[in-house]
Structure 1
Amino acid sequence: MKNCEIPKGCLAIKVGQEGEKQERFVVPVLYFNHPLFMNLLKEAEEEYGFDQKGTITIPCHVQHFRNVRGLIDRDNKSLHHLHVRCFGF
């Protein structure tokens, strides 16, 4: 995937603590409504304010972000299965 190719419904962000190499992640916009991701955005607001130019940067360790992403994905899969069961599929 080229840098400019971001799938519809996704957003590119940068993740990394000061002094740590930042990594780029492409995440679904649905993440932005998840409480765990909101906490990360709050940290970004406290670190950089609302005047961030360009890509949103999350100031946390990359491994911590990967762990949070895994929890969010697991929550979303659980909700999907719950939703499917409600409709008998």
Structure 2
Amino acid sequence: MVMWRKKSSGGESPSRGAGVHEDEKVPRGHVPMVAGCEGEGERVLVPVRLLSDPSIAELLDMAAQWYGYGQPGVLRVPCDAEHFRRVVDGAMQRCGISSA
């Protein structure tokens, strides 16, 4: 299951996870990520099983090149949300995970 949510750019503390509020729990087995360059983006919960998919790993490498390995808060992936959505959907199909 992948959940998409528009991330606002205002008033977040980096120590709180860039948009993760106390009442927003991350389900076990998921990693929160934000797709989009600086400012706004979409927050997505990605199943941990997808992190080994080559297309997701490529985006993670790109994130490391753009932002380094010490990103505070939620992991930001430097691509537009629509592209990230297509990559995640493709990885889910290859791993046999339902998107519902």
Query: When the two structures are superposed, what TM-score results if normalisation uses the length of structure 1?
Result: 0.77
- C-alpha RMSD of matched pairs (Å): 2.1
Structure richer in helix, relative to its length:
1
The alignment partner of 1:26 has SS state of strand
Unaligned runs of 5+ in 1: 79-89
Contact in 1 for aligned 2:50/2:95 (Cα 8 Å): no
Structure richer in strand, relative to its length:
2
Q: How is 1:22-33 mapped onto 2 (pairs within 5 angstroms)?
A: 22-33=41-52
Aligned to 1:13: 33
Unaligned runs of 5+ in 2: 4-19
The count of corresponding residues between Structure 1 and Structure 2 is 77
List 4+ stretches of structure 1 deviating above 4 A.
none
Deviation at 1:77, TM superposition (A): 1.5
The alignment partner of 1:41 has SS state of helix
Deviation at 1:72, TM superposition (A): 0.4
The alignment partner of 1:51 has SS state of coil
Compare relative contact order (CA 8 Å, sep 6+) and give the higher one, 1 or 2.
2
| 1:38 corresponds to 2:60 | no
Identity of aligned residues (%): 32
Give per-residue Cα distances to partners, 1:35-68, cap 9 Å, x unaligned: 1100000110010011111110000010000110
**Which of the pair has more CA radius of gyration?**
1
